[in-house]
Amino acid sequence: MPDDGSGDLDIADVAALFDRARLRIARELRGYSQVDLAREVGSVTAASLSQFEQGHTRPSAVTLKRLAVALRVPIGFFAAPAHPNQPENINGFFRSLRSTAPRDRQRALAYVQLARALTMELEKFVILPELDLPSVTQPVTDATGRQEIEEVAEDCRKQWKVPRGPIDDMVRLLERHGVIAIRFRMWLDKVDAFCVAFHDRPIIALGADKGQRDRSRFDGAHELAHLIMHTAEQVGSKTIETQAHQFAAAFLMPAADIRDELPPHADWPRLLKLKAKWHVSIAALLMRAKTLEVMDERTCNQAFKTMSARGWRKREPGDIGAPETPMLLSRAVDVATQTGITLKEIVRRTGLPEDDIHTIIGGTRNERPRVEL
C-alpha cells in the first residue's frame, strides 16, 4: 500500500487490501454486535461478518460499500493501514469491569484506536513530545502498601520536576511528557476515564460530560498511576484501582505540602478555599485529611454523611471551572498545517471517519494561534 494512504484507493483496491481488524473497530465504534450490523446492512449475515472479522473470507466490493454506509466510515477505512497494527486484543484499565458493559468497553477502546491511528499519521509531519513516563524502582504488586505508593507519587513529581504545591494543569502535564489525552463524548457516559498502555504512545481517555474539573484532574492522575505502576495482566483487580486512587491523591496533594493546611474537622469554608487552591474535590480533601491522620475516621465519616444530606456527593459547591482541555493533538494538527497538509487531507490519507476525528481533537476547531505547550 502506498504511503499516500487509503484515500487514493478505489473500492476494488480496498477490497483487495481489506483489514479485518478495521471492520471490527468500526463495528464496535458504533456499538453494534455482529447480529446488529447484519440487520442494519440487510444483505449480509452475522455468520459472514464473523468470517470477515476472523480473516477467513473477504467481503466483496459491493458488501464493503454497504458496510461503510451502515458504519458511517469512508470506504478507505477498511484498507490495511501503512503502519503496523497494534495487537488486536488490546486492553484498557477500566475502573470496574463489572459495572461497565462489555459493549461500552469495546466502543471506548475502538474510539481510542482511532486516536492512535490519527496520532501515528500526525507523527509523519510533526515531532510530538517524547514519551517520558517516570520509572518505578520497585515493582508494584498487590502487596504494595499505601506508604510505598506515596513514595512512588513523590518520585514521579521529582522525575517530572513538578514544583511544590498544586499542579497547574494535570492534562497539560501529561501531554508535555508524551502521553496522548483525549475526551470522549456523551455516548460513552457510562464509561469512567480509562487508559490504554500502548508501548509508544499511551492514551488516557477522559470523560467530557460531567463538567467537573476536580474529578477530571483526579481521573488523569489515576490513569497515570496505571501507566507507570501496573501491567495489562493486572487489569480488573480491585487492588490496583485502590493503589491508583492512593497515587492520585498523593500526586495531586503531596503530604509535605498539604498536611498543615487540612482541617481536623469539617470546616466547610476552609475546605472550599482548599478546593479552589488545589483544584481537587472536597471529598478528596476529606479523604486526604483522614489518610494523613489529620482528621479521625469518625469525623471524616460524619462529614461525608453531611455532604450526602446536602446533596453534595453528586454535585459539590465551589465551582472551579470547566475540565482541563487536551490540546496536544489539536496543536499537532495546527503545526502540521504549516507543512502544507490539512486535517481534511490527513483524514483522506488514513480513511478515518472525519466526524469522529473532529470529536477526538476537540470538536469545532479554533483557528486562532495557540500558546506552545
Give per-residue pLDDT as tens, 269-284. 999 999 999 999 999 9
Q: In terms of pLDDT, which residue wins out, 363 or 155?
A: 155
- The reported pLDDT for the residue numbered 190 is 65
- The reported pLDDT for the residue numbered 104 is 86
What is the tens place of the pLDDT at every residue in 191-222?
788 999 998 899 999 986 567 899 999 999 99
Res. 32: pLDDT tops 60: yes
- The reported pLDDT for the residue numbered 368 is 43
Q: In terms of pLDDT, which residue wins out, 33 or 98?
A: 33
Q: Which amino acid, residue 343?
A: L
**Full strand arrangement of the beta sheet holding 203-207:** 180-184, 203-207, 194-196
Q: Per-residue confidence at 2, pLDDT binned at 50, 70, 90?
A: very low
Res. 365: pLDDT tops 60: no
Q: Per-residue confidence at 101, pLDDT binned at 50, 70, 90?
A: confident
Q: In terms of pLDDT, which residue wins out, 7 or 343?
A: 343
Domain 1-82 classified CATH 1.10.260.40? yes
Q: What is the pTM of this model?
A: 0.90
- The reported pLDDT for the residue numbered 92 is 87
- The reported pLDDT for the residue numbered 189 is 62
Res. 4: pLDDT tops 50: no
- Among 102-106, 109-113, 364-368, 369-373, where is mean pLDDT lowest? 364-368
- Among 315, 85, 306, 348, which Cα is nearest to 212's? 315
- The reported pLDDT for the residue numbered 99 is 63
Buried b (16+ CB within 10 A) or exposed e, 152-178: bbbebbeebebeeebbeebbbbbbebb
What is the tens place of the pLDDT at every residue in 222-236?
999 999 999 888 887
**Over residues 347-357, mean pLDDT:** 91
Rounded distance between C-alpha atoms, residue 328 and residue 128, angstroms: 8
- Among 19, 20, 18, 68, which Cα is nearest to 41's? 68
**Over residues 82-90, mean pLDDT:** 63
Please give the mean pLDDT across all residues of the chain.
89
- Among 111, 86, 112, 88, which Cα is nearest to 30's? 111
Positions of CATH 1.10.260.40 in the chain: 1-82
